[in-house]
Amino acid sequence: MAIVLGPNRYGKAEVRVARVTRTTATDHELCDLDVSVSLSGDLADTHLRGDNARVVPTDTMRAVVYAFAQDRPLPAIEEFGLRLARHFVDAHASIDTARVRLLEYPWVRIAGTHGPHPHAWTRAAGVRRAGVVRGPEGVEVCSGLADVSVLKSTGSEFHGFSTDRYTTLAPTRDRILATTVRAGWRHRRDGAAPADWDASFRAARDTLLRTFAETHSLSLQQTLYTMGEAVLAEQEHLAEVRLTLPNHHHVEVDLSPFGQPNPGEVYQVTDRPYGLIEGTVRRGDAAPALADLPWE
Amino acid sequence: MAIVLGPNRYGKAEVRVARVTRTTATDHELCDLDVSVSLSGDLADTHLRGDNARVVPTDTMRAVVYAFAQDRPLPAIEEFGLRLARHFVDAHASIDTARVRLLEYPWVRIAGTHGPHPHAWTRAAGVRRAGVVRGPEGVEVCSGLADVSVLKSTGSEFHGFSTDRYTTLAPTRDRILATTVRAGWRHRRDGAAPADWDASFRAARDTLLRTFAETHSLSLQQTLYTMGEAVLAEQEHLAEVRLTLPNHHHVEVDLSPFGQPNPGEVYQVTDRPYGLIEGTVRRGDAAPALADLPWE
Amino acid sequence: MAIVLGPNRYGKAEVRVARVTRTTATDHELCDLDVSVSLSGDLADTHLRGDNARVVPTDTMRAVVYAFAQDRPLPAIEEFGLRLARHFVDAHASIDTARVRLLEYPWVRIAGTHGPHPHAWTRAAGVRRAGVVRGPEGVEVCSGLADVSVLKSTGSEFHGFSTDRYTTLAPTRDRILATTVRAGWRHRRDGAAPADWDASFRAARDTLLRTFAETHSLSLQQTLYTMGEAVLAEQEHLAEVRLTLPNHHHVEVDLSPFGQPNPGEVYQVTDRPYGLIEGTVRRGDAAPALADLPWE
Amino acid sequence: MAIVLGPNRYGKAEVRVARVTRTTATDHELCDLDVSVSLSGDLADTHLRGDNARVVPTDTMRAVVYAFAQDRPLPAIEEFGLRLARHFVDAHASIDTARVRLLEYPWVRIAGTHGPHPHAWTRAAGVRRAGVVRGPEGVEVCSGLADVSVLKSTGSEFHGFSTDRYTTLAPTRDRILATTVRAGWRHRRDGAAPADWDASFRAARDTLLRTFAETHSLSLQQTLYTMGEAVLAEQEHLAEVRLTLPNHHHVEVDLSPFGQPNPGEVYQVTDRPYGLIEGTVRRGDAAPALADLPWE
């Protein structure tokens, strides 16, 4: 049977751009982004014959990211991604789908002698993310975060699980629960976009953290579901939340050989292996996500 | 509208296992693996109510990986993944789908005074991969490799591409083409498995490298397609090849300010941004891949 | 001429320990450490003949770190390092020098419904460090930080530099200055230790950041010196500050091909190569650091 | 007491350069380097007053690396480092010391249909290193390697060690010994340089690996010493060998809960903590290394 070209796409990944907005000569805003663009469409000619007439060079994608980064005012990353995706689909007849993935690194103002400094920052933890796809089936946007590590030192149990001949794990009524949150939430295509992308992001982030902290956990799966549900309950325009939660195991160290009891005080922090809990919480009536949405 | 649990799975990731086979007291074989298991099924209870009765602890998955790693003889990673997946689906009524992702790190014998050493090795470059899914729709296997960096110092052109107001890239008739190959190839579900997984892997790897080297490239897309096509052409039991090829740009350094022409001799090696070419080559009559197949 | 054993040491690196202090059942403190111990002394026998009678196994060092982590109250990392170093030198006649390197990962309380949560945290940016050496020449302590990224979007110039036939850099009166601070400050051996290690650390960190922000920079070297000088000027018990400052170049993107001027708005963030400025600021009368002090 | 400037240096780090030598249009050689330059001298003015008249911009160092990379023939990295160091000290009166650190990534020819391909390569494992210092006290060169992982599955014991109340480690007569070799060897300043840097490197690398394999190990310290001694014994012009050997612990998995004995077959590969053995082997009559030699 014939060998054929299957699904394909190409783009420029990890375009690093810092955008300074000079409100006055010394009073600035800073936006620090990592933008990846990926396009697909009628690209058989370059794959099969090396004919590049329909290929927009990835170098051009890089240039567009930089040129559009000068938009005034620089919008939220979701809106910036929408502008970029629209440009590529509109400007090139051979391209039917554009995917844009954006990371934003948070910076906070350094505390100066007279308050927050007007043009000096230090990096804060965590990454804000957004993904946009524009294609024949429509336009879809997800927001999210990554690299947000959280830990609870009590209020987490794990017992009553299925056992078999390979079970050695002891049930526990009190353990450390620690994870690094990777979350994405998808905005409804049939509804209005949030009036304020930034406020929507902050609300979702704060809810995820607060819910992690305040949920008495019987399993990391339960915590995951509760976190996702809380975000959806607060923001009507969201259709679905995806969470990826590695379980960073903290093991109570056996200090009894040294004559020391260890009542939940000293823990070994392990690297590998780790549990990995992945799940989705969604509205029952939400349309499925577009296949090309860059959640990752 | 009601908020509901969507797709979910959980498992143990990156179980690191070294398996020594002692042919004699001093004559050994070595296998060095990183195994990740992920299960899904009827897991609503733990998500919604923290009831873990149907949850196989990820610690148990870890134990099973180690216990099965003692199989004699230790099979190829594809077969090892099949055994693990079968175990989890068969042993637990609540689990309907098991995904296993395996990485194998290659070691070669150290050259000793009297030839290859019988029990001492050094790590070689690259990683062999396999992915297995066993679920209600059947069983599917993919093989692959990652972290295989390749470079051609000529025999690569890029011109005739689409231009617009954001184009500044110059066409070129001679450039360095460099990438780090990530490839996966899917075995047909309707056919016989390869008689020898190891031989199949080596053939695919050698073909990918040789084809990269010997294809006169007009675009990395063309190289990608040619590489995938060559693997399918040689192995009838394969249905599809997926390739992810970052384009590691090498830029000729402008030495003219120092009075030195630079006729394709000195290149700046760049990190970011990079092109990213992703594509699939498949048989026209092959059934689509199962949604849960762990290609990555 | 004879071949002989030269300087040597050995230890356990990267012991990861989380210490929970339970003020009440639900009101906790958290300390998250990475501790490395390295010992030296009369270790010729194991090197030359494989006689381990004087070797304290690195596994024992790991055990001691965990056992001592239960000290109540858990002290600042500098004091914790001093206790560990004293133990190894005192307990083992063959060991004359102990080096301890400690990293502390900062966690901040998650904002809950009713204020900062009593037992849930999220990781903040940056790492606190300490190094201790105890040997025949005495005891010495350094404190420090790492992975603290800072950026100024104006208030930085670079011009008047030496030029030659290889110079292509243009002088600038306004550039982004960005670095990731790695700093260590050494406490005087002849003076009193700070009354409060934590307060001393916070003061030094805040001064480093504030000075970076408020110094009008003519070179990163000048900024480095000013930062170190400010720390020494405020804390009499410090002898020396070491700073390692990579210069993360931010390059104004040329948008003129697209008809856009770029007045200090859009910058390409580069990875490699980077400038690397390393320097020491010290009191003129301070004794030199002990050779074995683990600054890194 | 006055605060003063202490030791300092600055440079350009991680200049990535690929050098293609075109023997014919299609028959090439490839050299892939990472070069870091660091200079010191009379640099007080820039630190204390921001006066850069004596500062050679790091951008100029980058340019020199690229310009010199065109030397024909391109020499071994040790010689390339010597040329760079000489340039900076000779060309700039304010600079008295130049340090150059070089990494070379090995590439091997891809196996083509008709033998090794003339212009296509794949990356091999490991990194070759060199360090050069040129200063008032003379010129010194070290060679080395890094990222070379090795493993022995038998022929390694560890027992007879010192025990105390914190000892829980069991002695063993048969364990896996695994490490990632980082080695540097220093060439005598008073002797002739090796006639062939490349041959010297290959001999040292092969000896390190062969000696690791063929030494029956009673401790990793003993293995370290034996490896260093073997290199010195073979190459008269070497003064000293430094080895940094992390001990990658492989732990026999307890399979007895599953009714499986585990006679040295299945091992857990651990990440952290790890043993860390550092030592030097040297000729008794060799002058000490220059303080500024970039071994790392």
Q: How far is CA A230 from the centre of its chain?
A: 17
C-alpha D160/C-alpha D174 separation (Å) is: 14
Residue C278, beta-bridge partner list: C244, D9
Residue with tokens 């699904």: A7
Partner residue facing D167 (CB), from C1, C9, C60: C60
C-alpha C149/C-alpha C126 separation (Å) is: 8
What are D38-87's pLDDT values in tens digits? Answer: 999 999 999 999 999 999 999 999 999 999 999 888 899 999 999 999 99
Summarize the annotated binding site of C as residue ranges.
58-59, 158, 175, 221, 247
Considering only residues 35 to 64 of chain B, which have any Cβ-Cβ distance to chain D shorter than 8 Å? Answer: 63
Q: Are D289 and D139 in contact, with CB atoms under 8 Å apart? A: no
* CATH architecture of the domain with range A138-296: Roll (3.10)
C-alpha D10/C-alpha D95 separation (Å) is: 11
**DSSP string over D178-216:** EEEEEEEEEEPSSSPPPS-HHHHHHHHHHHHHHHHHHSP
Min Cα distance D106 → chain A (Å) is: 26
Q: Are C270 and C251 in contact, with CB atoms under 8 Å apart? A: yes
Beta carbon pairs, B and C, within 8 Å: 9
**Cβ <8 Å between B22 and D120:** no
Q: Are A264 and A252 in contact, with CB atoms under 8 Å apart? A: yes
B85 touches chain A (CB under 8 A): no
Q: What is the topology classification, in CATH, of domain A8-136?
A: Urate Oxidase (3.10.270)
CA distance readout (Å), D191 to A31, D139, D184, D187, D205: 56, 12, 18, 8, 21
Summarize the annotated binding site of B for 5-hydroxyisourate as residue ranges.
158, 175, 221, 247
What are A57-81's pLDDT values in tens digits? Answer: 999 999 999 999 998 888 999 999 9
* Max CA distance (Å), chain B: 76
Domain boundaries, chain C: 10-136, 144-296
What are A5-50's pLDDT values in tens digits? Answer: 999 999 999 999 999 999 999 999 999 999 999 999 999 999 999 9
Size (chain C), residues:
296
What are C60-92's pLDDT values in tens digits? Answer: 999 999 999 998 888 999 999 999 999 999 999
Interface test with D, best of A258, A266, A267 (most D CBs within 10 A): A258
C-alpha C262/C-alpha A63 separation (Å) is: 13
Structural class in CATH, domain C144-296: alpha beta
Min Cα distance B246 → chain A (Å) is: 9
Chain D residues inside the 8 Å CB shell of A165: 258
Min Cα distance A109 → chain B (Å) is: 27
Partner residue facing D258 (CB), from A165, A257, A272: A165
CATH no., domain D9-136: 3.10.270.10
Partner residue facing C272 (CB), from B257, B258, B271: B271
To the nearest whole number, what is the mean pLDDT of chain B?
A: 97
C-alpha D219/C-alpha C47 separation (Å) is: 8
Q: Which two tokens stand for residue C193?
A: 């230790």
pLDDT of A191 above 80:
no
Min Cα distance B295 → chain A (Å) is: 15
pLDDT of B190 above 80:
no
Interval B198-227 mean pLDDT: 98
pLDDT of C1 above 70:
no
C-alpha D155/C-alpha C110 separation (Å) is: 52
Binned at pLDDT 50, 70 and 90, residue D230 comes out as very high
- Tell me, what's the pLDDT at C72? 84
Active site residue B58: yes
Binned at pLDDT 50, 70 and 90, residue A1 comes out as low
Summarize the annotated binding site of A for urate as residue ranges.
58-59, 158, 175, 221, 247
Chain C residues inside the 8 Å CB shell of B249: none
Q: Is D153 helix (H, G, I), strand (E, B) or coil?
A: coil
Interval D142-171 mean pLDDT: 98
D206 touches chain C (CB under 8 A): no
Q: Are D119 and B154 in contact, with CB atoms under 8 Å apart? A: yes
D258 touches chain A (CB under 8 A): yes
Q: How many CA atoms lie less than 13 Å away from B125 in the CB half-sphere?
A: 18
The CATH superfamily label for domain C10-136 reads: Urate Oxidase; (3.10.270.10)
Q: Where are the alpha helices (DSSP H) in chain C?
A: 44-49, 58-68, 77-91, 197-214, 220-234
Considering only residues 167 to 196 of chain C, which have any Cβ-Cβ distance to chain A shorter than 8 Å? Answer: 176
C109 by Cβ neighbours in 10 Å (0-12 / 13-18 / 19+) ranks as middle
What are B236-267's pLDDT values in tens digits? Answer: 999 999 999 999 999 999 999 999 999 999 99
Interface test with B, best of A14, A40, A46, A231 (most B CBs within 10 A): A46
B256 touches chain C (CB under 8 A): no
Label residues A160-194 b or e (16+ Cβ within 10 Å = b): ebbeeebeebeeeeebbbbbbbbbbbbbbbeeebb
Partner residue facing C12 (CB), from D11, D217, D273: D273
A258 touches chain D (CB under 8 A): yes
C-alpha A150/C-alpha A172 separation (Å) is: 20
pLDDT of B225 above 80:
yes
Summarize the annotated binding site of C for urate as residue ranges.
58-59, 158, 175, 221, 247
- Tell me, what's the pLDDT at B1? 67
CA-based nearest residue to A19, from A53, A57, A60, A68: A68
Q: Are B14 and A247 in contact, with CB atoms under 8 Å apart? A: no
* Residue in C closest to B169 by C-alpha: C257
Query: At residue A263, what are phi and psi to the nearest 5 degrees?
Result: -80, 70
Task: Compute the C-alpha angle D220/D225/D230, nearest 5°.
Answer: 125
D264 touches chain B (CB under 8 A): yes
Task: Compute the C-alpha angle B245/B248/B251, nearest 5°.
Answer: 150
pLDDT of D191 above 80:
no
Partner residue facing C112 (CB), from A30, A117, A214: A214
Q: Which two tokens stand for residue A290?
A: 């577009």
Partner residue facing B165 (CB), from C258, C271, C272: C258
Query: At residue A191, what are phi and psi to the nearest 5 degrees?
Result: -115, 180
User: What stretches of chain B adopt beta strand conformation (E)?
Assistant: 3-22, 28-41, 95-105, 107-112, 115-123, 127-135, 138-152, 177-187, 238-247, 250-252, 266-269, 274-283
What are B43-76's pLDDT values in tens digits? Answer: 999 999 999 999 999 999 999 999 999 988 889 9
* Residue in A closest to D259 by C-alpha: A165
**Cβ <8 Å between A166 and D271:** no
Partner residue facing C1 (CB), from D92, D162, D285: D285
What are A138-164's pLDDT values in tens digits? Answer: 999 999 999 999 999 999 999 999 999
Min Cα distance D18 → chain C (Å) is: 14
Active site residue A12: yes
What are B5-51's pLDDT values in tens digits? Answer: 999 999 999 999 999 999 999 999 999 999 999 999 999 999 999 99
| 3-state SS record for A270-294 | CCCCEEEEEEEEEECCCCCCCCCCC
Partner residue facing C257 (CB), from B168, B257, B258: B168
Min Cα distance C291 → chain A (Å) is: 31
In this chain, the answer to whether the domains covering C10-136 and C144-296 adopt an identical fold is: yes
- Tell me, what's the pLDDT at A73? 84
Active site residue C12: yes
Binned at pLDDT 50, 70 and 90, residue C192 comes out as confident
Q: Are D225 and C47 in contact, with CB atoms under 8 Å apart? A: yes
pLDDT of D287 above 90:
yes
Summarize the annotated binding site of B for urate as residue ranges.
58-59, 158, 175, 221, 247
Q: How far is CA C273 from the centre of its chain?
A: 23
The model's pTM is: 0.98
C-alpha D221/C-alpha C94 separation (Å) is: 15
Q: Is D227 helix (H, G, I), strand (E, B) or coil?
A: helix
Q: Are C127 and C68 in contact, with CB atoms under 8 Å apart? A: no
**Cβ <8 Å between A152 and C25:** no
Chains that touch A (3 or more CB pairs under 8 A): B, C, D
**Cβ <8 Å between D278 and C9:** yes
Q: Which two tokens stand for residue D217?
A: 């190990």
For residue B230, give the DSSP letter. Answer: H
Give the pairing of strands D3-22 and C274-283: antiparallel
Interval A116-125 mean pLDDT: 98
Q: Give the N- to C-terminal CA distance of chain D in Å, as an integer.
A: 35
C-alpha C131/C-alpha C100 separation (Å) is: 6
**Cβ <8 Å between B54 and A162:** yes
What are D254-283's pLDDT values in tens digits? Answer: 999 999 999 999 999 999 999 999 999 999
Is the Cα dihedral A161, A165, A167, A168 positive or negative?
positive
Give the pairing of strands C250-252 and C238-247: unpaired
For residue A95, give the DSSP letter. Answer: E
**Cβ <8 Å between A269 and C17:** yes
Q: Looking at B46, B58, B211, B280, which residue is catalytic?
A: B58
Q: Is D228 helix (H, G, I), strand (E, B) or coil?
A: helix
What are A243-253's pLDDT values in tens digits? Answer: 999 999 999 99
Binned at pLDDT 50, 70 and 90, residue C193 comes out as confident
Interface test with C, best of A12, A17, A123 (most C CBs within 10 A): A123
Is the peptide bond preceding residue B73 cis, with omega within 30 degrees of 0? yes
Min Cα distance A248 → chain D (Å) is: 14
Q: How many CA atoms lie less than 13 Å away from A41 in the CB half-sphere?
A: 23
Q: Are B204 and B235 in contact, with CB atoms under 8 Å apart? A: yes
Q: Looking at C46, C58, C180, C280, which residue is catalytic?
A: C58
CA distance readout (Å), C191 to A258, C188, C281, D283: 36, 5, 18, 40
Interval A47-55 mean pLDDT: 98
Q: Are A58 and A10 in contact, with CB atoms under 8 Å apart? A: yes
**Cβ <8 Å between B166 and C271:** no
What are C218-229's pLDDT values in tens digits? Answer: 999 999 999 999
Is the Cα dihedral B90, B95, B96, B99 positive or negative?
negative
How much is the CA Rg of chain A, to the nearest whole Å? 23
**Cβ <8 Å between C159 and D52:** yes
What are B119-178's pLDDT values in tens digits? Answer: 999 999 999 999 999 999 999 999 999 999 999 999 999 999 999 999 999 999 999 999
Interface test with C, best of B163, B164, B267, B272 (most C CBs within 10 A): B272
Binned at pLDDT 50, 70 and 90, residue B214 comes out as very high
pLDDT of A186 above 80:
yes
**Cβ <8 Å between D247 and C282:** no
- Tell me, what's the pLDDT at D219? 98
C-alpha B253/C-alpha B240 separation (Å) is: 39
To the nearest whole number, what is the mean pLDDT of chain D?
A: 97
Query: At residue C245, what are phi and psi to the nearest 5 degrees?
Result: -125, 100
**Cβ <8 Å between B56 and A162:** yes
To the nearest whole number, what is the mean pLDDT of chain A?
A: 97
**Cβ <8 Å between D47 and C282:** no
Which positions ≥6 away from B246 have C-beta within 8 Å?
A13, B179, B180, B274, B275, B276, B277
Which positions ≥6 away from B58 have C-beta within 8 Å?
A247, A273, A275, A276, B10, B11, B12, B37
H helix or E strand, kind and range, residue D37: strand D28-41
CA-based nearest residue to D142, from D212, D210, D194, D95: D194
Which positions ≥6 away from B181 have C-beta within 8 Å?
B145, B146, B148, B149, B150, B208, B212, B243, B245
H helix or E strand, kind and range, residue C104: strand C95-105
Is the peptide bond preceding residue C73 cis, with omega within 30 degrees of 0? yes
